[in-house]
Structure 1
Amino acid sequence: MEDEFEFGFTEDPKFSVERYEEMIRNHDQYFFDAQAFENIIDYYIEKNDPARALQVAEYAANQHPFAAIFLIKQAQLLAITNRTTAAFAALDKAAMLEASDADIYIIRGNMFESMERYTEALENYEKALDLAEETDEILLHIAYVYQNMGDYETSITYLKLCLQQNMENQDALYELAFCYDVLDNQEESVQFYQAYIDNEPYSYAAWYNLGNAFTKLGLFEKAIDAYDYAILIKDSFASAYFNKGNALVNLEKYAEAIDVYRHTFEYEQPNADTYCAIGECYEKLEQMDDARAFYKKSVKMDPKLADAWFGIGVTLDFEERYFEALHFYRKALDLDLSNADYWFAIADAEYKLGHMKEAEDAYEKVVELNPLDVDAWLDYSSIMYEDQRLESAIEIISEAIKNNPEAAELYYRMVAYLFAKGEYNEALNYLELALGTDPEKHYILFDYLPQLQENKIILDIINRYSK
């Protein structure tokens, strides 16, 4: 007959674990009280050893067959290891022993949620709400379910309830910002976080989310103030420094932005995005060697960051090294084929190298991807005009006007092309349209065809609109 020893909850948890491991080594049968078993299970969970924790939970359930806690622990661990059927069975047994334990319904809700059976998940979470003492995490889970169902309004309702239960629930604060973002309702987001801060002025997460909401509204000065408060409360808050840097970039304060971005390195490992952002600031300051150095650091850290490859290209383009620039533009394009900006840069570089066919193909791609890019339409038509393909130039501008009926530049360019083709009446019709859209921009016509400054009919029409 095996020896049987008893270990109770007065023991140090580490001692319980050592005794349990000794028992397994010796193939013995020791008796542990419920608290000791819980300590041992929690120890293995913390050590990220769910298999060993499950083994203990099963052993505990055999020694304490009427203790629902071990069936609940079993279910939790079975769910983690994707043994869903066995997890549900363990929960059913636990419910027969202790139907009022909220954890049964929370774990069941988690499993239904991961199976995308949202109605059943909600039913279980609602049951748990009635039984649990602390409900903020359950309310958070209900909010997640509604997000997964695409119902962000209801999710917001539950997130606010969660924060009423626990003002310091950081996850709820961030999720709320996400929901307002999806609904594109930054004004309400600002109102919520301002009211929240009135009650919790030292919540760095609330200040940070307020800063993000101001950023999305284009209120960059206010955003910077909010980020500053977040940093004041938590000076190691790297994300707040990074987003403050972005806000400074939007205000074209590039040198300040570089300093702020560099602050993030004091509190977290440098990353590719921050190197790329610093590179872009140096690029805007036209310090191309520094810009290129940071873009290179960025791609070394993350070779899949298309913007950094593109940035290297921009610095070379600035130095009129168009052939080299093309190489890097294409590397960026390989990573993001539908990026109209990359195609535009390629088109421009090909044009500067005299590769007209390649430039034409690239411009065609730009306007296909972004038909609202007026500059791309103008440049695309310009290639045709230079190649004396007036018909094509006119067709391109005509298509551009369909997509951008408010862009006066397109009408003035059409006037120039029609005059060049000798279609004077049609040209004058478009001149009227151009002047009706924006009379101040009539200089565009003379930039393209200076000789028209001597044309009395045109000058009379312009003077009529200018007055």
Structure 2
Amino acid sequence: MYQYQFNQQFPSGLADLCHREYQTGDYENAERHCMQLWRQDTTNTGVLLLLSSIHFQCRNFDKSATFSNLAIKQNPLLAEAYSNLGNVYKERHQLKEALDNYRTAVRLKPDFIDGYINLAAALVTAGEMEQAVQAYVSALQYNPDLYCVRSDLGNLLKALNRLDEAKFPDLCLSARNNNDLAFVIPFLLSNSDVNCVLYFGQRSMI
């Protein structure tokens, strides 16, 4: 989950309380305490993002979109705000708008794993399966340990009848854990997965 950054002027106890309440699903108290922080500084993007997420979880989509847009107004380069807004559009079945916001999010923050996951899920819903594969691959390039992403990508490749390539997500994890580049790179080359070849090549030089 995105770690919301609050201004240091806020009481650390109250900010921490907001996080704990949100993470434990106590959205009513999280919203109440977060509003206290927002009244102290209506421009703080961390507060705005958390309020957006709280209202999304409560399915108050209008309020969620409002706080996402307020965050974007304060910082037009804030990838997480576009991703939150994309979530609202996806729930409203406005897939074009959702995809536009998710793509903006990962363009602004190329290592935004949650953004790629959201983008991939929306692309699957839109029937854009090949693009969804690439979005999942992008997420795994930054963290091959993500079991849910590896599982979703493997299932998607199987659904596309690309059974050999469905082995790729687990190969990513195995190769990274064992540093077994000689094992995985020929497989990737045989499937023309240049992005992942480059990724493992970079990992070998770290």
The TM-score range, normalised by the shorter chain, is 0.7 to 0.9
**Partners in 1 of 2:128 and 2:118 — Cα distance?**
14
**Partners in 2 of 1:35 and 1:118 — Cα distance?**
38
1:55 is the counterpart of 2:32: yes
Aligned to 1:288: none
- Structure 1 stretches lacking a partner, 5+ long: 1-7, 10-31, 203-467
Change (3 A) 1:196 1:133: closer
Q: Which secondary structure does the structure 2 equivalent of 1:38 belong to?
A: helix
Letter in 1 for 2:15: E
Change (3 A) 1:179 1:61: same
> Cα deviation per residue 1:411-455 (whole Å; 9 max; x = unaligned)?
xxxxxxxxxxxxxxxxxxxxxxxxxxxxxxxxxxxxxxxxxxxxx
Runs of 4+ in structure 1 off by over 6 angstroms are none
Aligned to 2:84: 107
> Cα deviation per residue 1:55-75 (whole Å; 9 max; x = unaligned)?
111111111122122122111
Listed as ranges, the matches of 1:315-464 within 5 Å are none
**Post-superposition shift, 1:193?**
4.8
Aligned to 1:132: 109
Aligned to 2:44: 67
Change (3 A) 1:35 1:132: farther
Letter in 1 for 2:175: N
**Post-superposition shift, 1:184?**
2.4
Aligned to 1:182: 159
Query: 86-95 or 142-151: which moved more?
Result: 86-95
Q: Which secondary structure does the structure 2 equivalent of 1:184 belong to?
A: coil
Q: Which secondary structure does the structure 2 equivalent of 1:139 belong to?
A: helix
Among candidates 94, 116, 127, match of residue 93 of structure 2: 116
1:155 is the counterpart of 2:132: yes
**Partners in 1 of 2:46 and 2:39 — Cα distance?**
12
Aligned to 2:184: none
Q: Which secondary structure does the structure 2 equivalent of 1:186 belong to?
A: coil
Aligned to 2:175: 199
1:91·1:104 contact (CA, 8 Å) conserved in 2?
yes
| Structure of higher CA gyration radius | 1
Please give the root-mean-square deviation of Cα atoms over the aligned residues, in Å: 2.4
RCO (CA 8 Å, sep 6+): is it higher in 1 or 2? 2
1:78·1:86 contact (CA, 8 Å) conserved in 2?
yes
- Structure 2 stretches lacking a partner, 5+ long: 1-6, 179-206
1:34·1:64 contact (CA, 8 Å) conserved in 2?
no
**Post-superposition shift, 1:44?**
1.0
Aligned to 1:33: 10
Listed as ranges, the matches of 1:233-312 within 5 Å are none
Q: Which secondary structure does the structure 1 equivalent of 2:164 belong to?
A: helix
Q: TM-score, normalised by structure 2?
A: 0.74
Task: Calculate percent identity across the aligned residue pairs.
Answer: 15
**Partners in 2 of 1:63 and 1:179 — Cα distance?**
46
> Cα deviation per residue 1:81-140 (whole Å; 9 max; x = unaligned)?
111112212222222222222221111011112222111111111121133363222111
Q: TM-score, normalised by structure 1?
A: 0.34
> Cα deviation per residue 1:271-297 (whole Å; 9 max; x = unaligned)?
xxxxxxxxxxxxxxxxxxxxxxxxxxx
Letter in 2 for 1:45: Y
Aligned to 1:168: 145
**Post-superposition shift, 1:188?**
2.6
Change (3 A) 1:194 1:98: closer
**Partners in 1 of 2:161 and 2:27 — Cα distance?**
41
**Partners in 2 of 1:120 and 1:50 — Cα distance?**
27
User: For this pair of structures, how many residues does the alignment match?
Assistant: 173
Change (3 A) 1:162 1:62: same
